[in-house]
């Protein structure tokens, strides 16, 4: 029981430093910063930061993310994805909010996740709501 409580409140930042190469999948409850290389999938309930020298080849799923390095693969972010000017994304993006600085390179598709992004926009009434009232 105590172990589950610690996992839910894990304030630790996991660091993969420059010069470190990891092949395989990573699953974590805390934040992760990657300045080295990851060839595999990454799943975390926290934030993923990819530094200028960081490289990921695989799928990423996280709460928030800030990318300054390179990502090849699909990234799914529940809240905010921030692409810095030095970032290079090759692959698909699914997120609620997206911020792209001038200079960022993005090749792929982007889908805005409806759970958070469109929550406040349903008040305008789409084509289905007026049809129901008639």
Domain ranges of the chain: 2-114
Q: Other C-beta atoms within 10 Å of 36: how many?
A: 19
Inter-residue contact 18 to 2 (CB < 8 Å): no
**What is the pTM (predicted TM-score) of this model?**
0.77
Predicted pLDDT at 132: 46
Q: Residue 120: its pLDDT value, please? A: 41
pLDDT of 129 higher than 80: no
Res. 29: pLDDT tops 80: yes
């Amino acid at each position: 029981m105590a172990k589950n409580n610690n996992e839910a409140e894990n304030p630790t930042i996991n660091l993969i430093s420059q010069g470190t190469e990891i092949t395989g999948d990573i699953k974590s409850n805390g934040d992760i910063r990657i300045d080295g290389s990851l060839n595999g999938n990454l799943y975390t309930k926290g934030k993923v930061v990819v530094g200028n020298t960081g490289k990921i080849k695989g799928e990423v799923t996280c709460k928030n993310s800030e990318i300054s390095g390179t990502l090849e693969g699909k990234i799914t972010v529940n809240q905010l994805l921030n692409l810095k000017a030095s970032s290079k994304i090759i692959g698909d993006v699914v997120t609620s909010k997206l911020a792209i600085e001038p200079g960022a390179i993005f090749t792929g598709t982007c889908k805005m996740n409806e759970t958070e992004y469109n929550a406040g926009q349903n008040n305008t009434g789409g084509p289905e709501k007026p049809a129901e009232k008639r």
